[in-house]
Amino acid sequence: MGALTGKVAVVTGASRGIGKGIALALAADGATVYVTGRTVARGAHPLPGTVGDTAAECDRRGGTGVAVQVDHADDAQVARLFERIEAEHGRLDVLVNNAFALPDDLTDPEPFWEKPLGNWEMVDVGVRSNFVAARHAARIMAPRGSGLITAISGYTGVAYTYGVVFGTAKSAVDRMARDMAVELAPHNVASISLWPGLTFTERAERNLAQITGLDGQAATRPQDGCSPEFPGRVIAALASDPDVMRRSGGTFITAELAREYGVTDIDGRTIPSLRAERGAPIWRPIRETRDGS
Instruction: Give 100-117 pLDDT, tens digit per residue.
Output: 988 888 888 899 999 999
Q: Give the side-chain half-sphere CA count within 13 A for 199.
A: 27
Which pLDDT score is estimated for 32? 98
Please, what are the domains in the chain? 8-288 (3.40.50.720)
Instruction: Output the CA–CA distances (angstroms, integers) from residue 54 to 36, 192, 199, in the order listed.
Output: 9, 24, 17
Beta strand ranges found along the chain (DSSP E)? 8-11, 32-37, 64-69, 94-97, 148-152, 190-195, 251-253
* Residues contacting 91, CB < 8 A, separation 6+: 8, 140, 144
Output the pTM of the full model: 0.94
The Cα–Cα gap between 172 and 163 comes to: 14
Lowest mean pLDDT among 29-33, 46-50, 255-259: 46-50
Task: Report the C-alpha gap between 10 and 13 in whole angstroms.
Answer: 10
- Which of 249, 79, 246, 92 lies closest to 180, judged by CA? 249
Type of residue at 117 = L
Rounded to an integer, the average pLDDT of 246-250 is 98
Band (259; pLDDT cuts 50, 70, 90): very high
| Banded model confidence at residue 149, pLDDT cuts 50, 70, 90 | very high
Kindly provide the b/e burial profile for residues 24-44, where b requires at least 16 CB atoms within 10 angstroms of the residue's own CB.
bbbbbbbbbbbbbbbbeeeee
**How many angstroms separate the CA atoms of 86 and 28, rounded?**
23
Q: Check if the beta carbon of residue 252 is closer than 8 Å to that of residue 285.
A: no
What is the longest distance spanned by two Cα atoms in the chain? 53
Cβ-in-10-Å burial (0-12, 13-18, 19+) of 162 comes to: buried
Alpha carbon 184 to its chain's center: 19
Q: How far apart are CA 186 and CA 289, in angstroms?
A: 16
